[in-house]
Structure 1
Amino acid sequence: MSSTADPSRLETAAYRLKSALAALETAVARRIEGDLSHGALNLQLDAAQSDRARLAEELDHSAERIAALEAANRDVAGRLDQTMDAIRSVLATHGA
């Protein structure tokens, strides 16, 4: 009886082949899952970058509005000071 025809060796070889195929299928499934996960992460990254750009633009607009409001506040405060000084002057002149 030749060693290549030995049933136990054939069974062992078949078992090893099945195990190797199962390992290959597992590796392929992991790779596919990893690729899909990588694609999903890229989509999330793109969305985050888009949100960041939008938020940066909104922040710039808000900073401009704050600067304009601060300038208007300074202008109004100056006018109020002038008006109060004028009222004090009139009151002082007319003895009230």
Structure 2
Amino acid sequence: MTAIDDALTRLDTALGRLEATVTRRLEAERSPDEREIELALMAEDRARLAAALDAASARLAEVEATADAVGARLDRAIDAVEGVLTRPSDDPRPAA
């Protein structure tokens, strides 16, 4: 490698670093209005997601309560059927 090639390589590296620094600086200096808008949008998203989570939690509670009620009724029905099936055949009570 010649001295010129070495100098061009160093210059290219320095330019890359300079471009990266300028890009970071520009991003850091974004106007406060843009940041406020972005924060407001994030707050709206958070509120919307919180409301959706609350609704889903309420619906889950309803489904669980319904499942518990159905399970209790099913247990009673199973007990009734087992009672009929295990009743002795000489029982004077009429079959249901």
TM-score range, shorter chain: 0.5 to 0.7
1:38 to 37, 57, 66: 57
2:86 to 67, 75, 81: 67
The TM-score normalised by the length of structure 1 is 0.61
- Identity fraction in percent: 16
Q: CA deviation at 1:54?
A: 0.3
Q: Check if 1:23 corresponds to 2:42.
A: yes
Aligned residues: CA RMSD: 1.3
For 1:54 and 1:47, how far apart are their aligned partners in 2?
11
| Structure 1: runs of 5 or more not aligned | 1-8, 76-96
State the structure with more CA Rg: 1
The TM-score normalised by the length of structure 2 is 0.61
| Structure 2: runs of 5 or more not aligned | 1-28, 91-96
Structure 1 residues 20-44: Cα deviation after superposition (integer angstroms, max 9, x where no partner): 0000100110000000000000000
Q: Bigger relative contact order, structure 1 or 2, given CA contacts below 8 A and separation 6+?
A: 2
Q: Structure 1 segments of 4 or more deviating over 3 A?
A: none
Alignment coverage as a number of residue pairs: 62
Question: Which has more helix, going by share of residues?
Answer: 1
